[in-house]
Every structure is written in structure tokens, then in C-alpha cells.
Structure 1
Amino acid sequence: MADGRFAPKQEPIEVTRGYRGSTLILETRFRTDTGIATLVDFMPMRAECPQLVRMVFGETGKIEFDTQFVARFDYGRANPAIRPLDDGTGFLIVCGSNRLTLHTKAASRVDAGNVMGRFAVAAGECVSFVLNYSDTSDSAPGCNDAQRQLATTTAFWEAWSAQADTQGPYEEALTRSLITLKALIHEPGGGIVAAPTASLPEHLGGSRNWDYRFCWLRDASLTLLALLRGGYPDEARRWRDWLVRAVAGAPSQLQILYTIDGSRHVTEWECPWLDGYQGAKPVRFGNGAVGQLQLDVFGEVMNALYLSRRAGLGPDAAAWTLENELVQHLAQVWQQSDQGIWESRGKPQHYTVSKVMAWLAVARAIPSAAQFRQDAPVREWEKLRDRIHDDICCHAFRTGLNSL
């Protein structure tokens, strides 16, 4: 856990914030009585280690800033050891196997276990901060050139965004959405995290605080479709490969969510020493929904795989084996009650959307076999599709109701 507090010494007259062009580089502009400065925050793509870069550019006049860097480990319980780097370029922050290096030329000091600083930036000047994370058993990362990282990161996002197929009245909003989805993709493996947040309450002060830093098959399947429509088949192909690896094995062991690298081990636990957002408790990490049956997931996954083939990703033997096994397993479980898309933690029930998505799973498998010449028991699947359809028509709605 880290908190990088940063503010002008003088109360700003105006603060504006936005992303730079079609990138994920965040700019915050401060205007005070003495000048204007822009704070730039970004994470470089494909850096040699996880890295956060913060740069302050002076535009007019001169502004003095106060900084405070607070680092804690073990979910906030462990204070690290902090000492200046031998070359005088920043600070080394260590706790167990975790290592942070903070590189900056801004005048700073260690005070009560934190790094404190004060500096001024005038028109045409730039003050930078580069924070690296690495394991203490590895060599310390060496790329701390903020200007070069900014240029490289800008070029990456501009080139990636230029591929977007978003022409129309909502082009800017669609491109920004695709950039956000790209930022949720695990770069080495292709898994897609649902959200980079943990324990944000559904209602302020409430107790429904969940950890969403995992790959939900439902969410990832919808993201795949957005990437395909947006003109990014490579990201969609990498997710399909991730799915085949993560779900490999007996279909009866299918989970609704996995860790971002495809691991099955997800344990939910509470963190009583943290206050939570605006006092919301309990603070939770992990997600107990991992063990739930949610029948709609079958439909989301099968629909995404079918449409990915339609979009040109082409057949994949491992993916088709997975689909075949999922349909066979779905034939055994579709009549069961489940927790539904709402992930209810109460008694399982029969949800209409669960049954409809189970029907969709089979309805997508049939044309997948026919259109792409895949070996499958199509007649058996057609009977299963029709049984689910009849069950929905019998139990999921009533005719003759007055309309509102």
C-alpha cells in the first residue's frame, strides 16, 4: 500500500484533470496566484518492473509543492525500512522480499517512516519522481529516465489507439473505453481483470465490500466482444488462449472467476485493521463467490468463442475441445438452482437469466459445429437446446399480464 500525497503549498485557484489525447497518461493542471504547473502521472508499458512515474512541468510563474510518500506492506500492517540510495538519487524502501526504489532530484528527507519533500517548479522546468517495485532477490531496475518513459508510453498508446475502429458520433467515448479495457489486461498472459479495486462499498458506509481484482469469465467474455468490435483481434485471441489454459481439466471444476494469471486459488478474508473507504467495513480481499454455480457463465463464454470465430480468429482445436466438454457438462447441471449474475450469498434459486444463458450456450455451440466443420453430437445438442427452451417458456413467464 502506498500513498503519494502531492499538493501546491499555496491553495490552488483552479484544478483541472484529464487524459492526454488518446493515451492513459493523466494530467492534472494547477493554477495558483504565483503560476501554473501540470502534474503528469502514468505507468510505462512493458517496463522491466512495475513502475509509476510522476512528473511536474512548470508552465508559467513559479509554484512551490509539498510531497509526502507513505509506503506500508502486508496490507498496511508493516512499516518498511527507508534509507537514501548510495548515489543520492532517491530512496530505498524495503520490507521482507518487497523493494521499492523512489528516484527523484527533489529535495526530500525521511520523517517518521515517510519520505517528505518540498520543491519549486518554474516555467520551463520539470521535476520527476520514478517509483519502481521489485523483489529484493532481483537486481535493482535501472530504467529511471522519466522523460524517455514518457515518450515511449505516449508513443505506445497513440499507436494502439490509432487501430481502433470507432468512427461515428461516439468515437471519442468508444476509444476511451477501449483504452480502459486495454489497461485491465494482464500483459504477459492475456487475462482480463474485472476491476482494479478491492473493498469499495456498494453503498457508502455499507458492508457489501468486495474484491474485484480477478478475472470473471462473464466480464472477460463481454470485454472480448468489445475488443473484437473495436478492432483488436490480437487481445481477443490472447484472452481465448488464457481461457483454455485457465479452464483446462474437468468441466465440473469450472470456476466463475480466476486470478489474473489463471490460478484457481482465491480465498476471501477480512482485514479488520483497515478502516475501509469512508469507514465502510469489513474490508475484504479475495472473493468467496469463486465457489458459486452461475449458469449464465456458460452462455457468456460460448457466445464469445462463437463470435470470435465469426470475427476471424479462426478455429482452435483446444478451444473447441473445451466448448464440447462444457456443453456436455451443462447438460447435467442446467436444471439446478444457482446464485445468478448477482452472486447472491443466500440460498440458490432458479433465475430466468441463468436458464436463458444456458440455452444460449447450446444455441451457440450448434452453429459453431456446423459453420466451422467441428465434430460434435449436433442432434443431441439440438434436443438439449429445445428442452431448455421449453422449460423457460413453461416456468419463466406468464402470458396475459396487463402491461404498465
Structure 2
Amino acid sequence: MDDEFLPIDDYGVIGNDDRCALVGRNGSIDWYCVPHIESPSVFASILDSEDGGRFAVRPAAEYEASHQYVERTNVLETTFETDGGTATVTDFMPVPGPDAVRDGENEDDGDEPENEDGETDERLQRAIYRKIEAVSGTVEMEVVFEPRFGYARVPTALERTERGDIVATEAGEDEADSANADRQEPAPEDDRLHDHEDGALYLHGDIDLEIDPVDSTATATVALEAGETRWLSLQYGDPNRRSVEEYEGHLQGTIDYWRTWLDGCEESATDIFEFEEEWRDALVRSALVLKLLIHDETGSIVAAPTTSLPEEIGGELNWDYRYNWIRDAKFTIQALQNAGQSTEAHRYFEWFREIGHETPEEIQPLYGLHGESNLEEECLDHLSGYRESTPVRIGNAAATQVQLDIYGTIIQGIYETIRYENGLSEYDWESIRALAGYVCEHWEEQDKSLWEFRDLEAHFVHSKLLCWVALDRALRLAEEYDRDGPIERWEREREAIRTAIEERGYDEERGSFVQFFDADDALDATALLLPIYDFLPADDERVQNTIDTILEELTTDDGLVYRFADSPARPREPGGFVICSCWLVDALVLSGRLEEANEIFEQLLEHTSSLGLLSEMIHDEDGTFLGNFPQAFSHIGLLNSAIYLASASDIEDATPEERESSAATPLFRRHQT
């Protein structure tokens, strides 16, 4: 294996509360943004194999590599086998001790929490630790430290400190002129996002690296015999010298943290973790991935920790996903609650609850993880892109789009969450009234849809569906909690939306609901959500026709479902969109078609990486991963589909009397006060 682009599914992810890094099966950290997940990168060779920067630890000779997570953790082990012996590299980002896992022990009380050594958790967690261990024989290991600040736009200087650490900083003008004359000019100061700070990177360990000041690279080669270990610590902001005993202690503490957290999930979750092993492992991994993507400071959830991994190799559909999308809220809350992540679900709800109280016309489809609204898009022309897929983008212009579905998403999120809370507050009812009123005024307008088309605006059926959801849930809540509101108007507009969807959104000849009103051919997998949102019962003939049409025209032989087909935006995509396969499973379960649902779910599990991870899309011919990675939406879909299957299995195993009084119901079911 070399430094050329790895397949996306050859990467593992490590992280902690506000950071993630992608580690390749070749031992190279090829993507890392610090101090925050949405900060500029310091390693970005996944987007430019020559100039992006990396931190590699691997054998100097030819090798075969495999990787796995330490069981029930986000600690990654990569094993290298050479002719001379076997070595393992263990990568992790340290976390606080397991006593701080749940129940908000680290809530902000004005002072940053300290661990038992008096060190702040934030400082501790801005580190990557790498343990190198020879398992058998003798293995010569190579280390390449090649940081590149600011998405490789900022020249980097490496120096050795008096204590022997290597410190990487943004080079001054003199260094830039002499050592980096051919590199891009430093990026202008970015005031769009959270304060990313200007910190140095400190590399400490028991391996001596030699600095090349011209290439701004530090390298070393060390021969290890069986039983020998070496440690490398990369710390952002200040030096972080540790003893071997301290490194080992942090490794064990991090393992304990993840297992303790997962134990808490399983104690409070439904029976999804009781599935047979091939299902359970994938669901456990999905829960661990979601925890990695939760922003500890704000409770928001990043859609993916990467930018510009392409939807099509060599194509231009490359987006920055390091933000929180409102559209994901309705599914996210359900997945978090059913995976036993009640604390995380509550904090996430609080995050988007505040957004719901903004003036409705000012609410946008996505936000920065700290609530930033200005996500101005920029192309990084100096980066070659993953496998020459350009442009590489940072920021996301979809933040300024009109997407009418977001209002139903917010009301649905409140509707879902209060079943776990103490009822509907006046604060939330004020928000619901304002959002429902806005929907009444604007539902007849066109928008860009949840797929965020940049070249198509239409009356999308999914957008109208969520407008219906907004009014339907507002009416349900008014009735259930005896709230005042313009009930007659909401009922009138809700009925008008239903009529429009049924008359203009369903094509009798096509035998399916279509992508937008009066579409001739365009199909869209979002039509699977009609029974899930309880717009129509699953046994409605039109719903069954739609499912059958999607199975025939949007679904591959191995269960991958395209987002859409025959659309004026794009005729056909190169791969299936993972969440759409999950929606198909859910719709089939609601229809009582359990054998088909199980088959597609099991096929989807076969598409997870060797580590149990999922990207946004999967190529329909060769199964390669496409899009940003790992993708929260995909893992959320997997968890929610497992809930459907679990509930349906319980009903199937029930007595006739129990079965008669029960039924598989939509996740977004009517709840009882």
C-alpha cells in the first residue's frame, strides 16, 4: 500500500467530543481538523495525496494490513504483517474517565473541568495518541509527520524544542518565501465560523525524528523487536509530554470510557442490541459513530466529519458536511432515544429547539456546530480533490436555500421529544404556532427540496408532505395538550395540502407518487416517507404501488436504493443512497412485508465496511463508498430500521390476541399524554 488515494471504506474514524480523524488502513492519518471538527485541516491528504499533509506510521518494507476496533470502543488497531514480523498501531483520542460519561457531570459551570491530574478535559482531548508495538519478529517502522495548516494553504514550519519535541507552526513570511515559495498564500482570516484559534502542533514521543526544513516534514525509521513498544503523542496548543505509564493509563481510560458509555445505552435501550451477532455488531458500531459525531459543547450533530468526498468519482458534487442539518432532526432524535442515548437526545433537542424559536423566515436548513449561520461557500482550487474530484469546497451555500420541509421537521422533532419529557411547554407552543402560521402562508411556494438541488426548483412532494406534517402535528398537540391556536385555519390548510399531494403528486400511469407536482417521470425515494409520517396508511393502494415501483425502478438487486431517477436535476446517480434503503425497509415493515424488509436490511449490512462504517452513498456496480464519511444519516437510518424490525418481530411472535391489539406503527406515531 502507498500514499495514493485509498478507498473510502479503507478508513477508520477516531475521535472524542469535538474532533475526529480518519486513519487509513495504511497507518496514515489523512484527515484531521483541529481544534474543532469544523476547523481548517492540518492533515488533508485524503483530498490531495501530494500536498494535503499526513501523519503516517507504517512498516518501511512491503506489508499486508488489516484493522479493527478494540471491542466496543472507538479505539482503532491496525495490524501490519511483513516478512520480518508483525506490528500493531493503536490510535485513539483520549477522553475523560468513565465517571464523566453520563448524566452531564461535565456540564459547564463556568470553569473548565479538570481531570485527576489537574489537566483540563479540553486540553487532554486535543491530542492523538499512537502506540506502536511489535507483536512478533522484527519490524522496521517508518514515521512521516507532514502537517499542513489551513487546508494546506498556510506554509508550515517545523522546529525542535529544547526538550526534544517537534513543534509545527504556521510559517512566518521569511520561511514562506524561502521554503514554501511555490505554495498558496495564507488564507485570509476566517470570521465566518467559530473561533478556531491559532495553535501549534507538538509531537512528542520516544522516537527521534529528523526534520527536513525545506519540505517541512519530519521522518524516522525505527526497528522494533517482539514485545517492544513506542509512543507518539500529537497535541494541539501546547506541549504534552507523557510517561509510558501515563500513555497506557489514557489508553485504558479511553477504552473504559467507551465501554461504560455503551453499557449505559444498552441498559436503557430497546432490544435492538439483542439481535443476532451479525446485526448487533453493526448497531453497536452505529451507536458509537453517532456519539463521535455529537458536538459535546453544543449538543449539535455533524452530518459527517469530512468535506468534499465526492458523490461521483471525478464529479463536481462535492460538499462540506461538517454542519448540522435541520432535516436530520426528526430521525436523529428517534435513533438516539432508541439506542439509549437519552442524554444526547435531550441536548440535541435543546440545540434545535432554540433554532425553532427564531423568526421562521430566518431559519435556514443548516447551521455551524456552534450555531453559526454564515456558512459562505469557498472552493479550494489548490487541492486536487479525492481522486481528482473537484472542486474541494468549504462552507455550504445550501444554508441560504429555501427548503420548506424544515418547518415540519422542527415541529415533528418537538412532537417526538416531548413524549420523553414532561409535556408541552408554553415556550415550545409559541414556536409551534409561529412555524405553523408560516407554513400556512408559504406551503404553496416552490423550494429546493431536502436534496438541495442547485439547478431545480419545484413543488416537491416531500416538501409538501412536511408542510402537512407541520400542521398535522400542531393540531394533534393542540388537542392533546388543550392549547389555543387558529385551529380552523390549520385544519383548512392541512386539508388543502393533502388534496394537492394526492391530486398532483401521484401519477396513476406511473403507479407511484412522484418527485414533484405534475412530474411526468421523475421518481423520488422520499415517497417512502408517506406512510412513515402517517400521511397515508401503509396498506393504501397508492402506497403499495409506490413501494413496488421503487423496488422495480429505484432499487438494485442487492438492496441499494437511488434517491431519485429521471429527474430534471440528474437522470440517475452512480450509487444508492444508504438512508433510502433504510426508508424502504421501514415502509415494507409497515406494510407487513417482513421477509422483503429483512432481506434488504441484511443486504445493507453487507455493505458496511470491515469496521462497520457507512458512507453517504454506495456505488451500484462495485460497492465502493461515495460521499462524506462516516455519515450520520446512514447510521441513524440503520438504527431506526432495526427498531422497525424489532417491533415487527415482537408482533410476529405474539399470540393471536396480542397481535390483534398491536400493529407495526410508524416511528412518528401518535403518542399519549
- Which bin holds the TM-score, normalised by the shorter protein? over 0.9
Tell me if the contact between 2:353 and 2:414 (Cα under 8 Å) persists in the aligned partners.
no
Supply the AA of the counterpart residue of 2:82. T
Equivalent residue in structure 1 for 2:388, among 250, 261, 279: 279
Equivalent residue in structure 1 for 2:489, among 380, 385, 398: 380
Shift of 1:114: 0.8
% same residue? 32
Task: Tell me if 1:199 matches 2:199.
Answer: no
Supply the AA of the counterpart residue of 1:79. P
Shift of 1:262: 0.9
Distance of 2:358 and 2:510 partners within structure 1: 46
Q: How many matched pairs?
A: 398
Task: Tell me if 1:153 matches 2:254.
Answer: yes
Match of 1:59 in 2: 135
Task: Tell me if 1:132 matches 2:132.
Answer: no
Structure 1, residues 261-303: CA drift from partner, whole Å, max 9, x if none? 1111100011111111111111111111111111222222222
* Secondary structure of the corresponding residue to residue 301 of structure 2: coil
* Secondary structure of the corresponding residue to residue 383 of structure 2: coil
Match of 1:185 in 2: 294
Match of 1:69 in 2: 145
**Are residues 311 and 200 of structure 1, via their aligned partners in 2, closer, same or farther at CA, if it must alter by over 3 Å?**
same
Shift of 1:140: 4.8
Alignment of 1:3-42 (within 5 A): 3-12=54-63, 14-42=64-92
Distance of 2:330 and 2:281 partners within structure 1: 23
Tell me if the contact between 1:244 and 1:318 (Cα under 8 Å) persists in the aligned partners.
no
Distance of 1:239 and 1:143 partners within structure 2: 35
Match of 2:210 in 1: 109
Supply the AA of the counterpart residue of 2:127. Q
Distance of 2:162 and 2:356 partners within structure 1: 48
Structure 1, residues 195-230: CA drift from partner, whole Å, max 9, x if none? 111111111111111111111111243222211111
Tell me if the contact between 2:329 and 2:413 (Cα under 8 Å) persists in the aligned partners.
no
Shift of 1:156: 1.0
| Structure 2 residues without counterparts, runs of 5 or longer | 1-41, 44-53, 97-120, 172-197, 512-544, 550-673
Equivalent residue in structure 2 for 1:80, among 156, 175, 195: 156
Tell me if the contact between 1:102 and 1:131 (Cα under 8 Å) persists in the aligned partners.
yes
Supply the AA of the counterpart residue of 2:62. E
| Structure 1 residues without counterparts, runs of 5 or longer | none
Match of 1:91 in 2: 166
Shift of 1:317: 4.3
Structure 1, residues 136-195: CA drift from partner, whole Å, max 9, x if none? xxx655678422221121111101111232222322211111111111111111010111
Tell me if the contact between 1:222 and 1:300 (Cα under 8 Å) persists in the aligned partners.
no
Moved more, 34-43 or 118-127: 118-127
Higher relative contact order (CA 8 A, sep 6+): 2
Structure 1, residues 350-378: CA drift from partner, whole Å, max 9, x if none? 11111111111221222223334444443
Distance of 1:317 and 1:155 partners within structure 2: 41
**Are residues 322 and 45 of structure 1, via their aligned partners in 2, closer, same or farther at CA, if it must alter by over 3 Å?**
farther
Shift of 1:77: 1.9
Tell me if the contact between 1:71 and 1:79 (Cα under 8 Å) persists in the aligned partners.
no
Distance of 1:282 and 1:336 partners within structure 2: 31
Match of 1:168 in 2: 275
Distance of 2:286 and 2:316 partners within structure 1: 29
Match of 2:399 in 1: 290
Shift of 1:316: 4.4
What is the CA RMSD across the aligned residues, in angstroms? 2.1
Shift of 1:315: 3.7
Tell me if the contact between 2:353 and 2:410 (Cα under 8 Å) persists in the aligned partners.
no
Moved more, 352-361 or 393-402: 393-402
Tell me if the contact between 1:192 and 1:220 (Cα under 8 Å) persists in the aligned partners.
no
Task: Tell me if 1:299 matches 2:408.
Answer: yes
Supply the AA of the counterpart residue of 1:229. N
Moved more, 378-387 or 313-322: 313-322
Supply the AA of the counterpart residue of 1:283. V
Tell me if the contact between 1:217 and 1:297 (Cα under 8 Å) persists in the aligned partners.
yes
TM-score by length of 1: 0.92
Higher strand fraction: Structure 1 or Structure 2?
Answer: 1
Moved more, 156-165 or 39-48: 39-48
TM-score by length of 2: 0.56
Shift of 1:20: 1.1
Structure 1, residues 327-366: CA drift from partner, whole Å, max 9, x if none? 1211111111000121111141111111111111221222
